[in-house]
Structure 1
Amino acid sequence: MNCLWCEAEGAKIEKNTVYWELPDGTRSIEITETPCVKCENCLMEYQEEDVITNIEDQLLLIDTNKIDDSISFHHLMKQPRLLKRNYFNF
């Protein structure tokens, strides 16, 4: 896999911790074990677009009052949705 930042080969899929502001802006949460790309060449760690979209959509579609300040990516994605999908994402 090539790194999107430095374009070097050898980037790997790993997991890291990210911090995300909730859509309503009331607080931020820690999301552990989030899939990421890690580049040994430039040391950049980043989330791919589909992971970002999944997190943002899920946070829009669940009752964020029911989640703690820290949650794993897996548990976040398993939270029951209030709507089936994000109807505002065209």
Structure 2
Amino acid sequence: MERSCSWCSSEQIETGKETVYWELPDGTRAIEITDVPSVVCHDCHIVYQTDEIVKTIEDQLFIVDTKSIAKTIAFEGLMNLPKLLKKNYFDFS
């Protein structure tokens, strides 16, 4: 877990679950993902997802059938979708 805000360096942060909107990798549409692990800063009032969570979502969207995803899906539901590939072969990092 982060110990300080990535934006303002405040230590007045807490974790929560928030709703985010994500464009699918093919660019055809955006979806709403609910209950995403997030960081909330009480000083600068930003709500964001850690780099690890962002990568997790992006990797998952590359390896599942995105056509089967409804307009809204819970984070855990997204993570539990059947995978078409073993891993994200498009990640060259």
* Structural mapping, 1:8-87, within 5 Å: 8-87=10-89
What is the CA-CA distance between 1:10 and the residue it aligns to? 2.1
What is the CA-CA distance between 1:76 and the residue it aligns to? 0.3
| TM norm structure 2 | 0.94
DSSP-derived class of the 1:15 partner: strand
Root-mean-square deviation (Å): 0.7
Instruction: Give the count of matched residue pairs.
Output: 90
Moved over 4 A (4+): none
What is the CA-CA distance between 1:84 and the residue it aligns to? 0.6
Give unpaired runs (5+ residues) of structure 1: none
Measure, in 2, the Cα distance between the counterparts of 1:59 and 1:17: 16
Give unpaired runs (5+ residues) of structure 2: none
